[in-house]
Each structure stands twice: as C-alpha cells, then as structure tokens.
Structure 1
Amino acid sequence: MGASLSEPTDVVVIGAGIIGLSAALALRARGLSVMVLDREGPAAGASAGNAGAFAFTDILPLASPGTLRKAPRWLLDPLGPLSVPPAYAPRILPWMLRFWRACAPERVRRATEAQSVLMDLSRAALEPFLDATGTRAMLRTDGNLQVYEGQAEFEATLPGWQVRADHGIAFTHLDAAGMAAIQPGLSSRFTHGTFTPGWFSIADPKDYVLALAERLRAEGGTIERAAVTALRPTADGVALLTQAGTRRAAQVVVAAGAFSHRIVRSLGEQIPLETERGYNTTLPAGALDLRTQITFGGHGFVVTRLSSGIRVGGAVELGGLDRPPDFRRSAAMLRKAKSFLPGLNTEGGRPWMGFRPSLPDSLPAIGHAAATRRIVYAFGHGHLGLTQSAGTARLVADLVTGAPPAIDLAPFSPQRFR
C-alpha cells in the first residue's frame, strides 16, 4: 500500500523507468526510505521497448556536424531516419535552433568530453550494480557491428572512430569477409563494417526493469501508480501534487523521462526537453540467426537479439507527446531490414512506439532544481537511458545525500539552457 497521503518519505522518485528505478535502488542502498511514483507503473515507456544496448562506445553527440549533413536527405523521406511532422514543426523550431547551435565544433568537443566521462562512470558502475540487484545473469557481451554501404560512407565515419580511439575505445574495421565471419547473411551492398566488442546488452530491457522494480520492493521500497502534476517546495521538504492527493517527501528526484519538463514547469523552470519518438518491431525469436547487434547507421536503425525476440527499431520522429503513433515507420524499417538481411522472417511482429527524452546538446540534465536543493533532476538521456542508468543512479545518490559527485556535473546542469 505504501505511505499515506500525509506520511513523509525520505525520497520520492518520480518515474519507474530505468533511470528512476536505478536511482531508487541506489538511494535505498544508502539507507533512505524510497517511494517511486509513476503515471503508468514500471517499464511502461521507453525503458521497455528500447534496443537493450549498453552503448558505452556511443560518445559522439547526436547534435553534430555529421547529423546536420545527413538531416536534409533524411527529412525528405517522411518514413526515414529523421522526421518532423509538418504540424509539429512550429512548436519544435526553438529546440531545433538550440540543436543547430550545439552542432558547433567547440560545443561538440565539450559535449563529447562530458559524454565520455559519464560513459566511463556508467561502465564502471554497471557490473557492481547488476551484482547488487541480482540481475548479472541478464548481461550479454555480444558486441556491435556497424555496417556501411561503400567506401565513401565508411570513410565518412573515420573521424568519429578516431575520437573513440582517442578515448580508449576498442574496435576493428572489417571488409565484407570479416563481417560475414561475425554475422553471416548480410546483403552484399554492405562492403565495410566496424565491430565494437565492448558493446554490452541486456537480455530484455522490459524484464530487466521489472526485475529492478521487484528488487526495490524486496528491499523495502514502494512503487505506486500516480501522475505527479506539480511540485511545491515547503519549509521541511517537498509537496507532490497528484490526482489522488498530496504526497510529502524530504527530497524528490524527477526522473519521469519525456514527461519531466511538464512537472518542473511548476517550479518555474523551462527546460527544453523534446521527444524523440522511437519505433520498432519485435519479431519471434527464430526470425534470424543473429549473432551480434547490427547498426545500419545510414538508415538510422538497429537489429538486436533479445530473449523476447529479434527487435528491429530506431529512427527519430520529433513529434511531441500527444500525436498518435505512425506505425508506418515501424513497417518501413522492417522492409529495409528484410532487404539488408534476406534471411530475416518478418512475420508475426509486434510494433511499438515510445518516447525518448532529448535535450538539444545530447547531454542529460543531472543536478539540483533552481528552486531548491531538495529536488534533483535526472532526465533527458535520449537513446542512452539504459546505457547511463547505473552511473546516473550513483550521481543522484550523491546529490541527494550531499556526497561529492563522482564526476563534474557542470556540463549536465539543468540550468545550462538559461
């Protein structure tokens, strides 16, 4: 049942996705009483339908000159890797302008450095976190294969691989024969590839998040379904306004993913959080003999082996929270995947759409609210929520308990967009 409407809690975490539940467990480990509130319950959003990758090598921000070069071609295809519904374009224009500014080379360099530091922390924190939560058996180490159509596309990626090499990330460039040795059955249109062995994955992201929820309950935390509509700092804590009444906590963590900016508006903060609407189709487990995750970067999607099946998904639709799903996007990716992997059986798939919370510079917001240090923000991880979950959980626990943060949080300040 959890606490009564008036009973105080040490920390209320808003959000039962991968970031919220990881943070809740880290806070429980430091001896705090924790309640998680979520509008739908555990693993109801992007934490359930993602590709399941711990993409620690993915240090290059989406906001980059490379994305700007590709964007015009992508935007010409309404079902391609990047789309903006015409009716939503006026609303997203301010965000797009911030994104364009974030693509300046010096800003990209700083964002890459910050992302690398957070990735290093998250990689170091992951396996201890899995051990502490009893989920280590779900970890897979199959690597990732990025494939390219021709010499020109391959060579265009080399500066990015040099940046990764400078940060100590291991990879191997491959020709067609080398790719076939790792993943048989690729179309001959893919002539070059890069294999990254340090790319981990989880057996199934939904099962993982649900396991974390059960672990939190077993350790004395509570999880309740409630939509938080506003936050009000008080003399001794924070009041959380919900449709069921008012909750009270000494401290609050906002980890509500793509809905976070709506909650923090009640504190007078306007944080430019947008929604990358991601699409996928999950096929039955026998749909393909898939031996590693494959990234089709020129087409904006991946193919992943999960315990629940073969997942084909990705792309970015900047369309907000309220538009209905356009599952033609899932179908378009599936058709491409079939042509790229001729042995793929595309029958019996389940389409899905979810919201990835995205900030213009591709970095999350991790830090205190402007209004009070009793409220901590942890949202805006884009497509890296699972990847950065263990590191973010440690940082949230540091902020809530007053410990020195494990890394410099200035690049992730929620107030950096003022």
Structure 2
Amino acid sequence: MANPDVIVIGAGVVGLSAAIAAQGRGLSVTVLDKTGPAAGASAGNAGAFAFTDILPLASPGILRKAPKWLLDPLGPLSVPPAYALRIAPWMYRFWRACSPDRVAHSTTAQTALMDLSKAELEPFLHETGTFAMLRKDGNLQVYESEAELKASLPGWQARAEHGIAFRHLDAAGMAEIQPGLAPRFTHGTFTPGWYSIADPKGYTVALADHFRARGGTIERLEVEGLEPVDGGVTIHARGGQTRQARQVVLAAGAFSHRIAKSLGERIPLETERGYNTTLPPNAFDLRTQVTFGGHGFVVSRLSIGIRVGGAVELGGLDLPPNFRRSEAMLAKARAFLPGLKPDDGVQWMGFRPSLPDSLPAIGRARATPRVIYAFGHGHLGLTQSAGTARLVADLLTDRPPAIDIASFSPQRF
C-alpha cells in the first residue's frame, strides 16, 4: 500500500479535526493512536465550545488565588508532593507568563484563535454531519458576594472590548435562567454566546466515522519517535514498527512533547489532570452550563448525563488518579445545587496538555518543515479544534495561515 500524504498522530478531537481538514484539501490521510479515537481528554471534557474564554489561565488573578487553593489538597489547584520538584521549571515559566504585558499578548492571540475557531465550527459540523449535536445554552458564572463579582469585572471588561456579549445578574435574574441554585450565590454573569456539544465522546467518535467514510484509515499504534528522511518523515512505533508519510501532524495531546523530543525539541508541555463525575440525565434540571469559578469546577448538561468536573491537578502522566478530587467536587455540587441527585455517577480522570502561557503549539518543527505541531490547548482542545484544523490544513498545503500564528510558535520557549 502506498504511503499516505499525511499521517496524523493522535485520534482526539484536535487530531481528527485536522485529519478531516487535510482530506478536504485533497490529501490522503492516516491517523495513528495508541488506544483509538476519543480515548483521552476528548472523551471526558465538559463539552463546551468556550469561545468567550479568551483570558489565559496564566494571569495575575490566578496568582492571587493560587496560594489559598494550593493549601487544599482537594481544591481547585493542587500539585502532588511527589511531582512538585519536577514541575518547578514549568511553574516558573507560568509565573513569568502572568506579567501584564504577556497576559495582554496572550489574550490577543487567544482571541484571534477563538474567532477563527467559532467561524470554522458550524461549517465543519455541517460537513461532518454532526451539526445536530450543537447546543447554544449559554454559560452562567456564579459568585458568592458582590465583592467576588467586582473582582471579576476586569476580565469582563476585556471580553467586552473584544465584542463578547454578557450580562450581570442578581439572584432573581439567575433563578430565571437556572432555578435551584443555593442562596449563597448572590450574583452571576450570563454569557449567551457559549456553545456546547451534546456528548464530547460521541462527537469525536462521529468524526472518526466520517473520516473513515471519506477513505481515511485509523490504526492503533504507539508512536515513539519521528525521523526526517528524504521526501518525508519516518515514524518509529513500539515494537520496531515504522510508517512513512510525506508530512506528519503531531496532535497527541499530553504525550506530544515526548514524541517531539525525538526531533531534538524540548517543549515545556505539562499535564493538567482533570477529574469529573457524570451523573444520570435526571440528576438535576440543568438548563445552562454553570461555572463555580471560585471553586474551580463546572456542571454541564450532556445528552449522556450531568457532568460535574474541572479543577487542576498538576501531576504529570504517571501518578495514579486521586478520585477523592472527583468526590470533593461532587460534594460541593450537592451543596451548591440542593436538588442534585448524587447517585450512580461514573468517575473519570484525563490529561489536559498545557503550556505555561496558556496558548497551544501550532507550527512547524525546528528539525523539519514536514512535521507540524498541533497540541497544548489545555482546557480548550474541543473549543479550538476547528480553528486549529484550518491552520494545520493551511500549513500542510503551503497556504498562508488564516491568522498570524507567530504567537503559537512551538519554539517560543
């Protein structure tokens, strides 16, 4: 069998979206993944297309909250003691990315990618036959005091400057949008332009089916390294197997930096381990996604149930899961949504690939222009998947990228 034009490494939502976009440019494409489609973060995320979430995680606001959060081992942000030394260099880069000038730069870059991703999304959903899975229910961020709302206002002002619509609410206004909130939440902000997908795993599997129906191949193979060769790239996989293609897209999520090392590239990718519990659909009458920002988690309505999840555990790829984090979030959700039925939940932990400045790596490898990186989206892989796919397809076909991608350079560190 002839070598494909492109091999995409990674069968998550970013990799499969890029593979479909490459097919749309007339390229033959194979996808390689060690476990198959939707096996990682694409299966267990909150299901949001968070196009209004333009502010980077690396910001002065998170620095103010971090010391308090880190004191709680089950809180919104934690670093397991066994991993603290290893992550110290990443944390230093994160701290540097929180300076006002860098936050402003990252916000501008993030906004451009968000705008592109939103513009690309609905045509992509129509093309892949998945448009019926799109929901436009908005998002409600809730606050426990007027002081907490006031502390959030600079972020909302930044969104307003980028044309993002929202409205601040009192308790009565919140109850009209989402009944059943505990009275401790006195203020909120509703963002109507917040989209979601009915089932993130089902969506990613549907993309895989569409890709195959158009002649694409998905192969289970654990990639260990890449080697530039004349006219293409050789892929080295576990067990001594090899594959070749004219170009390669590396979209292996939290594992991408390990593969990039084979090209001599040291990219400071870390893993935000996310936890959630998915309850049955009748667990609560949820009408919009609710964000409990002060506690670092969200509650989302999916077709498969009510998902309670979030938080950040900077613990790498190898430590065992700590499902007490899921249990802590569920206990809070019960207190915050008194009518929530907490029984028969399914717990999950997944890896979010995150770079210190909260921007993904999108661009060519230093060692060869035939390898294109597309990873490091943090909490925003689903959100930015269609936009990233457009940029990857532009690079694969030597077209000018739809937006300036200098800020996403894999070599910026």
Is the shorter-chain TM-score for this pair beyond 0.5, marking a shared fold? Answer: yes
The alignment-based identity, stated in percent, is: 75
Deviations for 1:311-367, whole angstroms, at most 9, x for unmatched residues?
000000000000010000000000000000000000000000000000000000000
Residue aligned with 1:370, SS: coil
Deviations for 1:64-119, whole angstroms, at most 9, x for unmatched residues?
00000000000000000000001100000000000000000000000000000000
Distance in 2, matches of 1:24 and 1:87, equals 37
What is residue 62 of structure 2 aligned with on the other side? 67
Distance in 1, matches of 2:350 and 2:196, equals 19
Distance in 1, matches of 2:287 and 2:230, equals 56
- Aligned match for 2:17, one of 11, 15, 22: 22
Distance in 2, matches of 1:97 and 1:243, equals 34
Aligned length: 412
Question: Is residue 347 of structure 2 the alignment partner of residue 351 of structure 1?
Answer: yes
Distance in 2, matches of 1:9 and 1:28, equals 11
Residue 243 of structure 1, CA deviation: 1.9
What is residue 121 of structure 1 aligned with on the other side? 116
Question: Is residue 403 of structure 2 the alignment partner of residue 407 of structure 1?
Answer: yes
What is residue 231 of structure 1 aligned with on the other side? 226
- Aligned match for 1:342, one of 335, 338, 342: 338
Amino acid at match of 1:251: Q
- Aligned match for 1:99, one of 94, 97, 105: 94
What is residue 112 of structure 1 aligned with on the other side? 107
Deviations for 1:32-79, whole angstroms, at most 9, x for unmatched residues?
000000011000000000000000000000000000000000000000
Q: Runs of 5+ in structure 1 lacking a partner?
A: none
- Aligned match for 1:174, one of 143, 156, 169: 169
Task: Give TM-score scaled by structure 1 length.
Answer: 0.98
Distance in 1, matches of 2:396 and 2:27, equals 10
Residue 176 of structure 1, CA deviation: 0.2
What is residue 249 of structure 1 aligned with on the other side? 245
What is residue 298 of structure 1 aligned with on the other side? 294
Matching of residues 211-222 of structure 1 within 5 Å: 211-222=206-217
Distance in 2, matches of 1:109 and 1:239, equals 39
Task: Give TM-score scaled by structure 2 length.
Answer: 0.99
What is residue 208 of structure 1 aligned with on the other side? 203
- Aligned match for 1:260, one of 252, 256, 259: 256
Question: Is residue 177 of structure 2 the alignment partner of residue 198 of structure 1?
Answer: no
What is residue 90 of structure 1 aligned with on the other side? 85
Deviations for 1:118-144, whole angstroms, at most 9, x for unmatched residues?
000000000000011000000000000
Amino acid at match of 2:406: A
- Aligned match for 2:268, one of 267, 272, 275: 272
Amino acid at match of 1:415: Q
Residue 9 of structure 1, CA deviation: 1.2
Amino acid at match of 2:74: L
Residue 299 of structure 1, CA deviation: 0.2
Residue 8 of structure 1, CA deviation: 1.4
Runs of 4+ in 1 over 3 A off after TM superposition: none
Distance in 2, matches of 1:374 and 1:135, equals 31
Question: Is residue 50 of structure 2 the alignment partner of residue 55 of structure 1?
Answer: yes
What is residue 393 of structure 2 aligned with on the other side? 397
Distance in 1, matches of 2:50 and 2:134, equals 13
Question: Is residue 302 of structure 2 the alignment partner of residue 310 of structure 1?
Answer: no
Residue aligned with 1:43, SS: coil
Question: Is residue 149 of structure 2 the alignment partner of residue 133 of structure 1?
Answer: no
Distance in 2, matches of 1:198 and 1:406, equals 22
Distance in 2, matches of 1:40 and 1:63, equals 31
Residue 159 of structure 1, CA deviation: 0.4
Deviations for 1:277-311, whole angstroms, at most 9, x for unmatched residues?
00000000100000000000000000000000000
Deviations for 1:180-229, whole angstroms, at most 9, x for unmatched residues?
00000000000000000000000000000000000000000000100000
Distance in 1, matches of 2:301 and 2:112, equals 28
Q: CA RMSD in A?
A: 0.5
Distance in 2, matches of 1:399 and 1:68, equals 36
Distance in 2, matches of 1:377 and 1:29, equals 19
Distance in 1, matches of 2:22 and 2:406, equals 22
Residue 255 of structure 1, CA deviation: 0.1
Distance in 2, matches of 1:139 and 1:191, equals 30
